[in-house]
Each structure stands twice: as structure tokens, then as C-alpha cells.
Amino acid sequence: MNLELGGKVALVTGSSAGIGLAIARQLADEGCKVVLNGRDPERLRAAQAQLAGTHSVLADARDPAACQAMIGEVIAVHGRLDILVCNVGSGTSVAPGQEHPSEWQRVLDINLHSTTNAVWAATEALVASRGNVICISSICGIEALGCPVPYAAAKAALESYVRNSARVFGRQGVRINSIAPGNILFEGSVWDRKLKQDRAAVESMLARDVALGCLGTPGDVARLAAYLASPLANFITGATHVVDGGQLRS
């Protein structure tokens, strides 16, 4: 399928590994001019080495000023921004019941503010290009699944942000959607670690809780992201798209 993405400029935050890198690769394969982003210079260089012709910007999306500078660099290099994929996030936190104010702030900064900062900094450029935003969320923001409470709350807030922003952005010609992955396996992921620690427990959980009985891959998320970023999805905005193998029940 031709997604009509040739020549589009796409910035993928948090794209030095995992889901973000897979999305960047998929968009590059579809003909986009891709800009990678991360906080670790070595990991970012390694990611860029895997994707010929990409540009990269070292920036911490938790910092609004850093996001402004990042968008400024994208515009300086490419002259426009058509697609913003907000992928910065982490589900690592304290056990339920052990939350404290500084942990709430840390998790919200990573999983919510990294997105709102990037979208805020990119709005003018996206309005100019009539572009679109894709926010990588989580099924933990939709249903109570036993994940860390600050993470679940941050992702639920992200879902609300997408739904409530869609009408405002839509009047300016900009679409915004979210993708809520389930259990995605890649090197260094939480599921990579859990498999190494107790494969039998993971396989039991998959058989019990996931309709397809398996873990997902970053590519499963990336292919949907490319479709949502494309003109083929021009009538889709303010929506959450679940990629979880049938884990959610509601």
C-alpha cells in the first residue's frame, strides 16, 4: 500500500531504541525525511547509523526550552515539520502504594509532559504544514492492569489530552491520535527482562490474559503509526488505537 508519505518530514521523539526506533525506520521506509531524538548521545548515534539519511537531535523532551530548540533545528534543516511522533515514556516506577510527590512529578514529566512540551513547541510548524501528531500511550492508561499507579495515571491523562486537543487542533487543520500498545518485546524492554527471569510466568500470563497468546513487536506499533501519519487516515483524529493482541476486556 502506498501511504503517500514520500518527502514528509517526521520527528520521532525517544527514537534511539525500541518502539520509537521502529517507528522511525518504518517512516523512513515509507519515504519520510526522519529526525531522530534521544537524551543519550551514544545510543542516538547508534540509532542514526542504522537509518541512512536520517538526522538526529539530542534533546530532553521533559524540558520545554529543549523542545523549542529541537523543533527549531528541524525547521532549520528541513524547512518544515509534517509529522510529530511523541514516544518518550517509561513504565518504571515504585510499587503501588509507595508513591510520593517527587515520583509523581518524575513519572508525569516522562510520560505526559514530554508529549505536551513537544506538541506545544511544534504547533506553529504543524499548523503551517497541516500536519499531524501521534502520541504513544499504553493500555495501562485505559484499564486497571496492575501497573505502577503514576504511570497509569500519566497515560490516562495523555489519552484525555489527545481527545480534548483534537477539536482545537482540527480547526487548524492538524490531526492528533494516540496508539496504546500492550506488551511489546524488544531488546532491553521490560518483557525482555521478564522472559529472562521467568519465561514460564510470562507464558502463563499470555495464555490467560492475551487473546492472541503472544507478545507484540515494535513493528506492530510502527506500521499503525505510519498509517495514522499518512493522508490515508485524513478523517481520523482524537482517537486511541489499541495494539495489544486482545488483552483489554473493556
Distance CA 55, CA 45 (A): 10
DSSP state at residue 184: B
Choosing from 32, 86, 123, 151, which is the catalytic residue? 151
- Total residues belonging to the chain: 250
The label of the residue with cell 527482562 reads: 193
Known catalytic residue at 227: no
Q: Outline where DSSP puts E strands in the chain.
A: 9-12, 33-38, 55-58, 83-86, 132-136, 175-181, 240-243
Strand ranges across the sheet with 240-243 = 55-58, 33-38, 9-12, 83-86, 132-136, 175-181, 240-243
Cα 90 to the center of its chain, rounded Å: 11
**Among candidates 249, 229, 223, which has minimal Cα distance to 139?**
249
Residues with catalytic roles: 151
